[in-house]
């Protein structure tokens, strides 16, 4: 029985037949209303309406009966929060007459993810002052009296759960963080490496507009970026390349004394601690093992492509167990190039097929395909070969584009930076010629490394101007291998020397990339973190920049170890082979550090600065010493940052809805220090509330 009010004087009852199919938004949810009006001074309309959720939108279809005008009110209730809108803005008016008639739909796109929340709808006819429809499309989460968000006092002082006392049950799981004394009772201490709290994404955290995020923070000084360091070879660690075997086991291939090739394994814990000494070692080529490229084949099988005896091109396979033990002899060996092979780069094409790109005879560019089986056996003959540049090709790098299409970036004729696209089938057949070409640098581009930013956007980092600068350039390649003839963006991120740069994606959910290189006035080791946006534009200046080695550091290679830890491997000035773990502070990526949820909101502080973010807007301010209360308040017109109850900066006007991400809420990620009394509200708190929350004597008195 559904009741509706016709006007102030009369109330009638309407019988509704409700059919509900499925409870999740991913299932086609349906509710059907057959409505008959009872007598009233102004008769209410008779009509049939079909309501359902499709593609994340609330859709209501007129299925017969009287027409409704465009001033009809649509009532949307999401998790118990009601919004009234006119159907005029959402009506698909097929005959353009301003009326909602049979066969026409009202499609409402909510700002919220509808998954697992209660969705209710109502339709009010203004002319008859009657409620034509009222019911639920979907059962689910209802906002509690507190509202969306949560309160985490951290008063447990033990255990691995941080409880939410708001009623939303957004309890957090503590990972590695330790209990300590807080501003009010206990707090959590984070090491800035692998400590954090994760709160699973839920409708109770889905805030779309007004909000407050606040906490007490006491950051510690980060000090040195270096977590740990290992010398994997004393005096002879040339041209190292490395690969992760398991979560904490790594293998490095490099050129040692007298040009021979070595393979070693070592252990790094997720917190960046490196075990003393290597696990195992193998001299994989007694004569020559230059420019090694090590890669995973299958299971315990790994392979190295390198410049071997007489500068010929070789591939050797090895068995390395998950705990780092290397078999005493290679599994198989293949000579894929019998004349000259420098700087080979090899990637998997499909199944047992691999492609190798290299600088070949006469400094010309070659790509060849070979077969390597999971047991390490290498087919005796090359599958196919293409000379993609018949004049000059140095330091080529190969990347997959889409399907059978691949791209090669290299140092070409006249020292230009060149990108060419080719085809390689899943069975190793290579097209007879390259497809397209772009000169991405017409001055000087040595040691380019190409990465895929999106399906059609690519970036190349290289040493420019004869090593006098480091340059990052982006351009587009479509899924058929055609390269745009214009550059999207190009940025000189290092203006004083940059040699042999390497690049890695640093944050999975962000645009941040880390570049390691030898540079600066003393040719020392540097890391620069830069945002490469999805459209190919490059943010300026870099997000973060530091020196990881104070002496000359040759041919650095970089990998990501964990949330905010990088591994860099390089040859030191004295020719020692070094592996080093580096802690990246949250100030390099404050939107994904401290207290944050996806691309929605964040609160972070280091020893000198406070950061508050709503969407892509970040406010900063100086931080006083000791425990600091920080609050970020958004009221749909202004974003305001408060420190210890006082407004320090703001951004206005701003009225955007919050981004909707499906990531978890995290506390303490990339934060070094203590955090206490976190609160997130789905409204802008008052000045009176702020003064209570920011007073140490009343801290935590949120409700």
Q: What CATH number is associated with residue 349?
A: 2.130.10.10
CA-based Rg of the chain, rounded to a whole angstrom? 31
618 within domain boundaries:
yes
Do residues 83 and 170 both lie within one domain? no
Q: What is the pLDDT of residues 626-661, one digit of tens each?
A: 999 999 999 999 999 999 999 999 999 999 888 877
Give yes or no: residues 429 and 311 share one domain: yes
Boundary residue ending a domain (105, 138, 171): 138
Q: Does residue 287 lie within any of the structural domains?
A: yes
Q: Average pLDDT, stretch 173-198?
A: 96
Domain span holding position 455: 226-584
First to last CA, the chain: 38
Q: Looking at the predicted structure, is the pLDDT value of residue 203 above 50? A: yes
Instruction: Give, as one character, the DSSP assignment of residue 321.
Output: -
Q: What is the mean pLDDT of residues 308-327?
A: 96
- Reference 110, options 120, 97, 123; nearest CA is 120
Answer yes or no: is pLDDT of 7 > 70. Answer: no
Band of the pLDDT at 43, cuts 50, 70, 90?
Answer: low
Whether 700 is covered by a domain: the verdict is no
Q: Is the pLDDT of residue 21 over 60?
A: no
702 belongs to a structural domain: no
Same domain, 201 and 104: no
Q: How confident is the model at residue 147 (pLDDT cuts 50, 70, 90)?
A: confident
Tens digits of per-residue pLDDT, 339-351?
999 999 999 999 9
Query: For residue 687, what is the enclosing H or E element?
Result: helix 687-693
Is 209 in the same domain as 248? no
- Residue 196 has, within 13 A of its CA and on its CB side, a CA count of 24
The last residue of a domain, from among 88, 111, 138:
138
Provide the mean pLDDT of the chain: 90
Alpha-carbon gap, residue 518 to 538, rounded angstroms: 21
- E strand spans, 286-341: 290-298, 301-307, 313-319, 332-337
Could you give the CA distance from residue 210 to residue 562 in angstroms, rounded to a whole number?
33
Identify the H or E element spanning 692: helix 687-693
Handedness of CA 528, 531, 534, 536 (dihedral sign): negative
Residues 514 and 389 in one domain: yes
Asked which of 92, 109, 138 is the last residue of a domain, the reply is: 138
> How many Cβ atoms sit within 10 Å of the Cβ of residue 234?
10
How many residues are present in the chain? 703
Structure token digits, residue 611: 């950061």
CATH code for the domain in which residue 630 is found = 2.60.120.200
What percent of the residues of the chain are helix, what percent strand, and what percent coil, each to the nearest 5?
5, 55, 40
Residue-wise pLDDT for 113-136, tens only, equals 788 888 999 998 887 778 888 888
Domain co-membership, 561 together with 655: no
Which positions ≥6 away from 55 have C-beta within 8 Å? none
Question: Are 442 and 495 contained in the same domain?
Answer: yes
Asked if residue 606 and residue 566 are part of one domain, the reply reads no
Contact between 374 and 351 under an 8 Å Cβ cutoff? The reply is: no
Backbone dihedral angles phi then psi of residue 662, each to the nearest 5 degrees: -105, 15
Check whether residue 28 and residue 48 sit in a common domain: yes
- φ/ψ (deg, to 5) at 623: -110, 135
Number of domains into which the chain is organized: 3
Residue 501 lies inside a defined structural domain of this protein: yes
Asked whether residue 445 falls in the same domain as residue 506, the answer is: yes
Same domain, yes or no: 194 and 334: no
Residues 55 and 92 in one domain: yes
Which pLDDT tens digit goes with each residue over 328-387?
Answer: 999 999 999 999 999 999 999 999 999 999 999 999 999 999 999 999 999 999 999 999
Task: Give the CATH number, domain containing residue 87.
Answer: 2.60.40
> Sign of the CA dihedral 538, 544, 547, 548?
negative
Query: According to the model, what pLDDT value does residue 2 have?
Result: 29
698 lies in some domain: no
Contact 322, 267 (CB under 8 A): no
24 within domain boundaries: yes
For residue 664 the two structure tokens come to 């978890």
Residue 25 pLDDT exceeds 80: no
467: CB partners within 8 A, 6+ apart: 446, 497, 498, 499
pLDDT digits over 523-542, tens only? 999 999 999 999 999 999 99
3-state secondary structure 148-198: CEEEECCCCCCCCEECECCCCCCCEEEECCEEEECCCCEEEEEECCCCEEE
Determine, yes or no, domain membership for 701.
Answer: no
């Amino acid at each position: 029985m559904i009741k509706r009010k016709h006007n102030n004087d009369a109330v009638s009852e309407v019988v509704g037949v409700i059919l509900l199919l499925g409870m999740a938004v991913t299932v086609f949810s349906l509710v059907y209303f057959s409505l008959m009006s009872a007598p009233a001074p102004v008769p209410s309309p008779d009509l049939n309406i079909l309501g359902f959720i499709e593609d994340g939108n609330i859709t209501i279809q007129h299925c017969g009966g009287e027409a409704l005008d465009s001033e009809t009110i649509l009532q949307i209730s999401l998790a118990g929060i009601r919004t009234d809108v006119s159907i005029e803005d959402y009506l698909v008016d097929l005959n353009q007459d301003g009326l909602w008639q049979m066969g026409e739909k009202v499609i409402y796109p909510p700002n919220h993810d509808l998954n697992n929340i209660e969705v209710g709808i109502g339709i009010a006819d203004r002319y008859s002052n009657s409620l034509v429809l009222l019911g639920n499309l979907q059962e689910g989460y209802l906002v509690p009296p507190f509202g969306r968000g949560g309160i985490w006092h951290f008063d447990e002082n033990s255990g691995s759960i941080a409880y939410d006392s708001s009623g939303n049950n957004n309890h957090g799981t503590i990972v590695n963080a330790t209990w300590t004394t807080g501003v009010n009772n206990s707090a959590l201490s984070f090491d800035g490496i692998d400590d954090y709290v994760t709160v699973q994404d839920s409708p109770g955290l889905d805030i779309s507009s007004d909000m407050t995020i606040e906490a007490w923070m006491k950051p510690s000084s980060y000090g040195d970026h270096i977590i740990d360091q290992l010398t994997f070879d004393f005096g002879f660690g040339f041209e190292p390349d490395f690969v992760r075997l398991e979560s904490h086991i790594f293998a490095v291939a490099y050129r040692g004394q007298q040009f021979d090739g070595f393979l070693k394994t070592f252990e790094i814990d997720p917190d960046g601690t490196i075990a003393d000494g290597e696990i195992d070692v193998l001299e994989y080529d007694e004569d020559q093992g230059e420019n090694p490229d090590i890669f995973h084949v299958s299971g315990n099988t790994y392979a190295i492509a390198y410049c071997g005896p007489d500068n010929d091109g070789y591939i050797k396979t090895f068995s390395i167990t998950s705990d780092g033990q290397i078999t005493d002899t290679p599994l198989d060996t293949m000579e894929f190039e019998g004349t000259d092979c420098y700087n080979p780069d090899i990637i998997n094409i499909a199944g047992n097929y691999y492609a190798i790109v290299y600088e070949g005879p006469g400094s010309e560019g070659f790509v060849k395909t070979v077969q390597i089986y999971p047991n390490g056996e290498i087919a005796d003959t090359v599958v196919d070969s293409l000379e993609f540049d018949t004049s000059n090709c140095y330091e080529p790098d190969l990347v997959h584009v889409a399907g059978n299409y691949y791209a090669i970036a290299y140092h070409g004729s006249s020292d230009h930076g060149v990108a060419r696209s080719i085809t390689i089938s899943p069975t190793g057949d290579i097209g007879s010629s390259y497809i397209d070409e772009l000169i991405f640098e017409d001055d000087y581009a040595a040691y380019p490394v190409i990465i895929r930013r999106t399906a059609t956007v690519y970036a190349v980092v290289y040493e420019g101007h004869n090593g006098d600068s480091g340059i990052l350039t982006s351009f587009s390649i479509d899924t058929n291998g055609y390269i745009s003839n214009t550059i999207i963006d190009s940025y000189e991120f290092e203006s004083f020397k940059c040699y042999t740069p390497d690049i890695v994606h640093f944050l999975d959910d962000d645009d941040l990339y880390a570049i390691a290189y030898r540079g600066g006035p003393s040719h020392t080791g540097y890391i620069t973190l830069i945002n490469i946006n999805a459209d190919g534009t490059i943010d300026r200046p870099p997000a973060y920049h530091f020196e990881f080695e104070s002496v000359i550091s040759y041919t650095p290679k970089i990998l990501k170890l964990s949330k905010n830890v990088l591994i860099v491997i390089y040859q030191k000035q004295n020719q020692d082979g070094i592996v080093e773990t580096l802690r990246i502070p949250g100030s390099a990526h404050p939107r994904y550090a401290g207290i944050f949820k996806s691309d929605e909101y964040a609160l972070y502080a280091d020893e000198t600065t406070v950061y508050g973010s709503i969407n892509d807007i970040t406010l900063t301010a100086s931080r006083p010493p000791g425990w600091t209360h920080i609050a970020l308040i958004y009221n749909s017109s202004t974003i305001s940052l408060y420190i210890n109850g006082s407004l320090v900066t703001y951004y206005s006007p701003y009225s955007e809805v919050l981004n909707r991400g499906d990531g978890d809420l995290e506390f303490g990620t990339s934060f070094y220090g203590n955090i206490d009394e976190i609160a997130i509200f789905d409204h802008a708190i008052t000045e009176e509330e702020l003064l209570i929350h920011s007073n140490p004597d009343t801290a935590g008195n949120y409700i």
